[in-house]
Structure 1
């Protein structure tokens, strides 16, 4: 593939995200073929220059690269498997949401049929597609990613994670864990401060400052995790646990839900009981790596 905008591309699945994906290819100048089970969803894209494929097989045959964004992985296999088209040599980038086991199973299914297959995940909302705000994760054979990278870059900031097809899904859920954890911590603090008449807008800049500062610790903490050594360079876990107890007590005294800080403190207490109280906070990776038992 060369870095031109005349490379044809097909998009299968025209929900809100699929429509955004096809629209980004059109905006970048790529001849774009679209297919959706409910054909009316293609009307706007056709009015903007897309070609409506009458069948899935026709859609697959129209382009060297097909993007699939449908309900689930079962739908992906059903659509491709019943297309009536020989799939040998077809390149498919599957941006359907799912988990890492489904991604690896889909890759095996595709390999058996001669499909060049990349799995992916979209870190962004439909309105950001086609801009640098949308991060599109890809995993699978690097040669297939490299061959189509110029076309895929029409969708946003593309990232290649590695040959394991499950990596895109794993990064996706790991990113969601970060997102919800930061938001939940902010909501905890906001709920506490509202009891003193401080509104969310007033607290938000301070919370943002804290979140940014903590993010700067991650590379150094990552080195400790990868080495398996956790010297207390900043604070010992036992010291952090005392602060956690204060957070629980303060929340309860204010009449604010203390479930989240209680959960984290329980994990810290288990780690301390196992002899890690003198080590630094990332030693909790051992607790996070264990299966949950109620």
Structure 2
């Protein structure tokens, strides 16, 4: 007899036993990941090149494997959080990966992600690459806002999504296995550019009767107001329209840049964090002043690709 009563998907999901998995790599990030899976009740087999690091996790319920092959054999889902791509290749060299689902959370480049996906598929495994947008202290803390980019096999991601979301949020960004790393590096590159500007700002006031703690809220407020540039640049790069609705054109921006440089010189501050971007804007303008003088500064982005 068929039961036509409405089903509660969340109740079904919550009643399912936590899936087992294997984790290779117990650095700070790997250990943080391991602890969240253990706390959620997932049977966990771990391996680390330095075996002693597994001790505390074994005390918390993990099973330590003596070899990478032993860890891989313990579960269908295998998570890698090693030093680099070469470490992944070395750890899994000669290991039978047939039927395994590999999730690589090792920091790497887009090209390494794509190559490792082809490598895994040739060995009978499904593969997903990941880019962790969190520090170890953010893992297992939902309110911290950390998440992981994933790309590669959509089937693998859908199969294991619930498990992958235990340590941090999961965002699938495409079937191209290089896209997780590309998103990761794009965001980190923007972060370091932001840090560079903030560092230059603080250097300017050193030695003056201006406390960093007094400049701090002004910096936060100003940078928040300038956040519009993110969406503005995306729209202009999409439409290739760099002139409509421009308030402060490139010619004006380049002219004003001289004040920034002279102020840095007066304050005895190096311009090494500031000059590259100012030079990029200047190069865009001098290429054709008549065509580019009224442009938004987003047009300078087009010069970055050779």
The TM-score with structure 2 as length reference comes to 0.90
Question: Which one of the candidate residues 117, 122, 127 is aligned to 2:137?
Answer: 127
Question: Which one of the candidate residues 18, 25, 29 is aligned to 2:37?
Answer: 25
Question: Which one of the candidate residues 61, 68, 80 is aligned to 1:56?
Answer: 68
Query: Do the aligned partners of residues 78 and 2 (structure 1) sit closer, same or farther apart at CA in structure 2, a change above 3 Å counting?
Result: farther
1:79: how far off?
Answer: 1.8
Work out the CA distance in 2 between the residues paired with 1:201 and 1:249: 25
Report the 3-state secondary structure (helix = DSSP H, G, I; strand = E; otherwise coil) of the residue aligned with 1:169: helix
Given that residues 197 and 274 in structure 2 are in contact (C-alpha distance below 8 angstroms), is that contact kept between their aligned partners in structure 1?
A: no
Alignment of 1:207 with 2:219, yes or no, is yes
Question: What does residue 289 of structure 1 align with?
Answer: 305
1:261: how far off?
Answer: 2.5
Alignment of 1:252 with 2:268, yes or no, is no
Query: 1:43-82: per-residue Cα shift (whole Å, max 9, x none)?
Result: 0000001111232222112112111011221221222222
Given that residues 10 and 63 in structure 1 are in contact (C-alpha distance below 8 angstroms), is that contact kept between their aligned partners in structure 2?
A: yes
Query: 1:260-279: per-residue Cα shift (whole Å, max 9, x none)?
Result: 33222211111001221211
Work out the CA distance in 2 between the residues paired with 1:202 and 1:187: 15
Matches for 1:145-184 after TM superposition, within 5 Å: 145-184=157-196
Report the 3-state secondary structure (helix = DSSP H, G, I; strand = E; otherwise coil) of the residue aligned with 1:246: helix
Given that residues 34 and 51 in structure 1 are in contact (C-alpha distance below 8 angstroms), is that contact kept between their aligned partners in structure 2?
A: yes
1:149: how far off?
Answer: 0.6
Aligned length: 288
Matches for 1:1-294 after TM superposition, within 5 Å: 4=16, 6-83=18-95, 85=96, 87-132=97-142, 133-231=145-243, 232-275=245-288, 276-290=292-306
Given that residues 130 and 151 in structure 2 are in contact (C-alpha distance below 8 angstroms), is that contact kept between their aligned partners in structure 1?
A: yes
1:5: how far off?
Answer: 5.2
1:152: how far off?
Answer: 0.3
Report the 3-state secondary structure (helix = DSSP H, G, I; strand = E; otherwise coil) of the residue aligned with 2:241: coil
Work out the CA distance in 2 between the residues paired with 1:168 and 1:193: 39
Task: Give the unaligned 5+ runs of structure 1.
Answer: none
RMSD across aligned C-alpha pairs, in angstroms?
1.6
Point out the structure with max Rg over C-alpha.
2
- Which one is further off, 216-225 or 103-112? 216-225
Report the 3-state secondary structure (helix = DSSP H, G, I; strand = E; otherwise coil) of the residue aligned with 1:259: coil
Question: What does residue 3 of structure 2 align with?
Answer: none
Task: Give the unaligned 5+ runs of structure 2.
Answer: 1-11
Q: Which runs of 4+ in 1 moved over 3 A?
A: 1-5
Given that residues 136 and 155 in structure 1 are in contact (C-alpha distance below 8 angstroms), is that contact kept between their aligned partners in structure 2?
A: no
- Which one is further off, 125-134 or 265-274? 125-134
- Which one is further off, 129-138 or 176-185? 129-138
